[in-house]
Every structure is written in structure tokens, then in C-alpha cells.
Amino acid sequence: MTVIDVNVATTCVIAFVVGVVATKIYVSRYQPSASVKQHDIKTVDDPILQDDLYSEDSEDDDDEYETESDEDERCKLVLVVRTDLKMGSGKIAAQCGHATLGAFRDVLRKYRKNKSTKNHLDWLKSWDESGCAKIAVQVKSLDDMERIYKAAKDAGLPVHKVIDAGKTQIAPNTKTVVAVGPAPESKVNQITGSLKLL
């Protein structure tokens, strides 16, 4: 194995671990334990925390936005990383963690504002319950990343763009990673299937 292969492997492992840990921490905040009373949740200022989005008793639990093919298909999240920025493996891992958590938050927030995104919430739940599959792929330029972002958005998929604060390796407001999904594999593959693994 070359040094580059080791760095890529290390980056992927770190990104995966950061994503899983961040997702589990975030989910634990939004799924109260049995000992938490509903009125305790209502005291939280964050509107996303006002009730359990995954509750089976939800009044909005109609299936009009699901399709048969989506119900059984595994969902995944693809992290599209710019390689032209020459970020170190730790920086890439951090950016992928931001993208994963950002994608998760976006789905929850958008569902709160617009119930027509229920399919996104269903995909998020399916993804969360099936191991949170994440794949890191690469693009060579900002233009390539923006094309992926636009294609995912136009296809109606959840998509999140990370814009770095610029405190370490790269300039402020640099677009580093796009998360596509979580969504059914076939839908995500239509957008990212041709990209090389990171």
C-alpha cells in the first residue's frame, strides 16, 4: 500500500466514524427515552426538538409520498469531496462529518417547514435504521461539485453543501463537500454513480 492509499483509507475510516458518532449523538437528542415526559421536551427552545419526528403516532403519517420501490430499497448518503483543495486527511474527515450531520439536520428542518418532504424523512429514517451507509467519492473542481449539487437538487434529493469557515487549511467560505442523500441507492447512483471513490 502506498502512502496515498493509506491516507485515503485513513480518511475514509475517520469520516465514517465521525459521521456515525455525529449521527448517533444527533439522533439521541431527537429521540427521547421512555423516562422523558412530553412536557419536558416542550421546554427545549429548538423547534426541531418539540416532538419525536419518528413517532408512529404522528398525525402526518400518511404514505402518499412513498413509492413501492422506495419502501424496500436501501438508502445511502454519498459525500462528494473536492480533491483540488489538497485538504489533509483529518480536514477531509472533519468536512465529511459536517456534511453528514448537515444533511441529517436539513432533512429534519425542511420537514418541519414543508410536510411535502415526507419522503426525505422516510429515507432518513430508513437510512438511520439500516446502518447509515456513507460513501466518499471525489470530484476535481468546484464546477464538478456544483454540477452534482444542482443535479441532486433538481432530482428532488436531499442535498447539503459544506462551506468551510477557513480557520485551518483553506480560505474562508470555500465549498468543500456536498452530501447527496440519504436517499434510495438507485436515485443517488443516478447522480453520483460515475464518480470515483475517494
Count CB neighbours of 110 within 10 A. 15
Question: Would you say residue 80 lies in a domain?
Answer: yes
pLDDT tens column, 148-173: 999 999 999 999 999 999 888 999 99
Own/partner pairs for 28-35, CB < 8 Å, 24+ apart?
A: 30/54, 30/108
pLDDT above 50 (res 45): no
Average pLDDT over residues 70-86: 91
pLDDT for residue 71: 61
Question: Would you say residue 57 lies in a domain?
Answer: no
Residue 135: C-alpha distances to residues 4, 71, 138, 148, 180 (Å): 18, 21, 10, 15, 10
C-alpha cell at 39: 412536557
pLDDT for residue 162: 97
Average pLDDT over residues 26-39: 50
pLDDT for residue 30: 57
HSE (CB half, 13 Å, CA atoms) of 81? 30
Q: What is the CATH number of the domain that holds 11?
A: 3.40.1490.10
Q: Which residue has the higher pLDDT, 62 or 179?
A: 179
**Alpha-carbon distance 106 to 159, whole Å?**
8
Domain with 38 in it = 3-52+72-192
pLDDT for residue 161: 98
